[in-house]
């Protein structure tokens, strides 16, 4: 099936799954919204315990300062990555564009096979899949993640990978700080190790250890799965269905660049959009 670019034919902003006057992508799914809020609350809990139970009561200024900077950087980058994944259009195909006029406008040859999604009545591009939650076909859809209340697809996979990376880093750092503080409290017989009572401090630290360990394992597994899928130029759905590749597979480096753009420090920043690799791609990003 020939490749074609949808954005060039869009005259008006598609308001489906959008909020703030069409400026942001937003899925109205109660389960996803609850999961996203839970994610924010768990990040805030880790922030509270690390700052007010572990670091601020510490008398070691250097230890406190270094770990404060590391933890806050991970927390800010993880939170920003989550928001970018959640509010970025993952690559939705315009609804109801499977019209005769649109097909003619796209320049399909007579007799050429065109796939149409019966659920959202759109011309389905290669490697696109329909998401029942988003109620849209998503280009290069990897999976729908309730924790970010969005699909992971062509346009937001970079942010999702960064989210899993920074949450894993934040979790491992929190686990180290909690265990170390626990040992310090025991060594000093729970004297002056926290502004809270020893039982309360122990409960806070134990819950942080449990949360950090759980999220570290979950996000590291997800990160490894995402990196493997990107390197193999396959999405999660394609791997799950064991679909035979009908597309020309890219090399590992080109596949990574298709998600993160040209190599730069922006690879690790959720504030930066992936840099286009060519002038042609620059034009597509500006549409």
Which residues are annotated as catalytic?
A: 145
Using alpha carbons, select from 141, 162, 161 the residue that is nearest to residue 239: 141
Residues 207 and 196: beta-carbon distance below 8 Å = no
| Rg over CA atoms, the chain | 23
DSSP codes joined into one string, 150-198: EEE-TTTHHHHHHHHHHHHHHHHHHHHHHHHHHHHHHHTTTSSS-SS-H
Using alpha carbons, select from 272, 243, 239, 274 the residue that is nearest to residue 256: 274
**C-alpha neighbours within 13 Å on the C-beta side of residue 74:** 22
CA 42: distance to chain centroid? Answer: 17
Residues 106 and 3: beta-carbon distance below 8 Å = no
Tell me how far CA of residue 82 lies from CA of 75, 92, 121, 196, in angstroms. Answer: 11, 19, 30, 32
Residues 135 and 17: beta-carbon distance below 8 Å = yes
**C-alpha neighbours within 13 Å on the C-beta side of residue 143:** 16
Q: Give the C-alpha separation, 24 to 10, whole Å.
A: 17
């Amino acid at each position: 099936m020939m490749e074609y670019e949808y954005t060039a034919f869009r005259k008006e902003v598609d308001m489906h799954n959008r909020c703030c006057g069409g400026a942001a992508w937003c899925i109205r799914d109660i389960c996803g919204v609850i999961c996203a809020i839970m994610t924010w609350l768990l990040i805030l809990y880790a922030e509270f315990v690390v700052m007010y139970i572990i670091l601020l009561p510490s008398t070691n200024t250097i230890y406190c300062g270094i770990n404060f900077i590391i933890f806050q950087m991970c927390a800010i980058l993880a939170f920003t990555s989550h928001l970018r994944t959640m509010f970025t259009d993952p690559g939705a195909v315009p609804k109801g564009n499977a019209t005769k006029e649109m097909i003619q406008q796209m320049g399909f040859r007579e007799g050429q096979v065109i796939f149409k999604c019966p659920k959202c009545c759109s011309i389905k591009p290669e490697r696109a899949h329909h998401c029942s939650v988003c109620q849209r076909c998503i280009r290069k859809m990897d999976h729908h993640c309730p924790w970010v209340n969005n699909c992971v697809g062509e346009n937001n996979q970079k942010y999702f990978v960064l989210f899993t990376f920074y949450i894993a880093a934040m979790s491992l750092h929190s686990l180290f700080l909690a265990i170390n503080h626990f040992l310090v409290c025991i060594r000093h017989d729970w004297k002056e190790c926290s502004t809270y009572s020893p039982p309360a401090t122990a409960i806070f630290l134990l819950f942080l250890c449990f949360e950090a360990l759980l999220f570290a394992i979950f996000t590291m597994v997800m990160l490894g799965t995402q990196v493997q899928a990107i390197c193999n130029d396959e999405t999660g759905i394609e791997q799950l269905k064991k679909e035979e590749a009908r597309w020309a597979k890219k090399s590992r480096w080109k596949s990574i660049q298709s998600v993160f753009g040209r190599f730069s420090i922006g690879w690790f920043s959720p504030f930066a959009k992936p840099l286009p690799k060519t002038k042609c791609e620059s034009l597509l990003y500006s549409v």
